[in-house]
Amino acid sequence: MRKSRIGILTGGGDCAGLNSAIKWVVKTSLDDRLQRERDTSYEIIGIRDGWKGLVAADPSRGDAQEWLMPLDQNVVRTWDRLGGTMLGTSRTNPYSPKNDQSRKVLGNIQGLGLDAIVAIGGEDTLGVASKLSQEGVSVVAIPKTIDKDLWGTDYALGFETALNVITEEIDRLRTTAGSHKRIFVVETMGRTAGWLALEGGESAGAFIILIPEYDFSVQKINDLVLEGRRQGARYEIIVVAEGAKPSGGGEFIRDQGEDSFGHKILGGIGDYLATEISGATKLETRSLVLSHLQRGGAPCAYDRRMGRYFGIAAVDLIVARDFGKMVSYGNGRIGTVPLKDIVGRLSLVDVATQYDTERYNGRRTILSR
């Protein structure tokens, strides 16, 4: 039987569903029957803390093992139920122009004898995967991001669990908002894409939803709120993505510092809106930032299942030696997309067909345009 050693890592922001994908990569590649059929005996090595682990795990140094976690069915048995990532993560960019460590990564992949890498991540992590693939590394990828903005797939791990959090928290807010006749502005994540705010707001039945793809007018929000009150509303829930902007204004940035992929930390749009709305309407308005609650906790059933399917499909790609691809989901089927095609592109809300610019909400026609 041939032998093959596979490295697996998770990079970027954590989310629910990562551990399920890892578990199913491990279970599928180590499955006895499949190994016999494939005439290959696999070994799976977890790499800690994303690309940072592959920069650090230099086999010629004594501490390389600290960055590695050998995985088998016993180790991963319960992982599909667990949130976050048991391998840890980082936003390390080995190709950062300020500190290019890509040669170290290439050397370590070779030194560790890794025949293939499974990278689980969003656009930044998979951008690195794509570059490594172009340099000859055998890489396959699994999509994850609660922002659901990866190009080439209709689903990315973590999104559905995050929607559940948004919906549950808004359900909780409704009772207190109603008791006090208050407006609540709920700030979700979503730096460039409005999927979390839009689909979270739709799931929770929010009165107003604001997304990065369509700049809003504060005046219009106030008019909608006051009109709602005239029609008998006692309270309002307004959902706003962290990357949404007032027309003529820019993104709200909480921290000017940049991570190694050049991203600033966003935040503050919810507070800004609450102040503007209460000032103009004289209605008591509070804001709430859901922040990392959206990425935390146990995965919902959908993320467990999608993690399973993506993990199994990633192993299929490795067995077929069909590298340089990301597993994807579209039209009800698991498929694949070349990694090089997803780089530099994002999947955003199509305002013309998916957003109602009059109501600042989800669309009210679906079959007709």
Catalytic residue among 49, 115, 147, 303: 147
> Does the protein bind ligand F6P through residue 146 (CB under 6 A)?
yes
Judged by CB under 6 A, the stretch of 111-119, 144-152, 227-235, 281-289 that binds ligand F6P is: 144-152
Among 84, 122, 200, 324, binds ligand F6P (CB under 6 A): 122
The residue count for the chain: 369
Q: What's the rounded Cα separation, in Å, for the pair 150 and 339?
A: 11
Judged by CB under 6 A, the stretch of 35-43, 54-62, 145-153, 173-181 that binds ligand F6P is: 145-153
Residue 149 or 236: the one with the smaller Cβ distance to ligand F6P is: 149
Q: What's the rounded Cα separation, in Å, for the pair 153 and 188?
A: 22
Residue 12 or 201: the one with the smaller Cβ distance to ligand F6P is: 12
Residue 209 or 225: the one with the smaller Cβ distance to ligand F6P is: 209
> Does the protein bind ligand F6P through residue 190 (CB under 6 A)?
yes
Among 49, 115, 123, 147, binds ligand F6P (CB under 6 A): 147
Q: How many CB atoms lie within 10 A of CB 298?
A: 14
Helices (H) and strands (E) in the chain, counts: 13, 15
> Does the protein bind ligand F6P through residue 213 (CB under 6 A)?
no
364: left (phi over 0), alpha (psi -120 to 50) or beta: alpha
CB of residue 90 vs ligand F6P: minimum separation in angstroms? 10
Q: What's the rounded Cα separation, in Å, for the pair 104 and 109?
A: 9
Residue pair 20/299 in contact by the 8 Å Cβ criterion: yes
Residue 127 or 190: the one with the smaller Cβ distance to ligand F6P is: 190
Q: Is 35 exposed, middle or buried (0-12, 13-18, 19+ CB in 10 A)?
A: middle
Tell me how far the alpha carbon of residue 321 is from its chain's centroid. Answer: 27
Judged by CB under 6 A, the stretch of 21-29, 47-55, 132-140, 142-150 that binds ligand F6P is: 142-150
Among 13, 127, 194, 362, binds ligand F6P (CB under 6 A): 13
Under rule CB under 6 A, how many of the chain's residues touch ligand F6P?
12
DSSP 120-169: EESHHHHHHHHHHHHTT--EEEEEB-TT--BTT-S--BTHHHHHHHHHHH
What angle is formed at CA 96 by the lines to CA 95 and CA 99, rounded to 5 degrees? 105
> Does the protein bind ligand F6P through residue 191 (CB under 6 A)?
yes
Residues 14-33 within binding reach of ligand F6P (CB under 6 A): none
Judged by CB under 6 A, the stretch of 40-48, 78-86, 186-194, 282-290 that binds ligand F6P is: 186-194
DSSP 191-250: SS--HHHHHHHHHHT-SEEE-TTS-B-HHHHHHHHHHHHHTT---EEEEEETT--BTT--
Task: Give residue for tokens 């990828």.
Answer: 141
Q: Is 72 a catalytic residue?
A: no
> Does the protein bind ligand F6P through residue 12 (CB under 6 A)?
yes
CB of residue 189 vs ligand F6P: minimum separation in angstroms? 3
Contact letters for ligand F6P, residues 240-279 (x by CB under 6 A): --x----------------------xx-------------
Judged by CB under 6 A, the stretch of 66-74, 143-151, 168-176, 304-312 that binds ligand F6P is: 143-151
Task: Give residue for tokens 């309407």.
Answer: 281
Catalytic residues: 147
Chain contacts with ligand F6P (rule: CB under 6 A): 12-13, 122, 145-147, 189-191, 242, 265-266
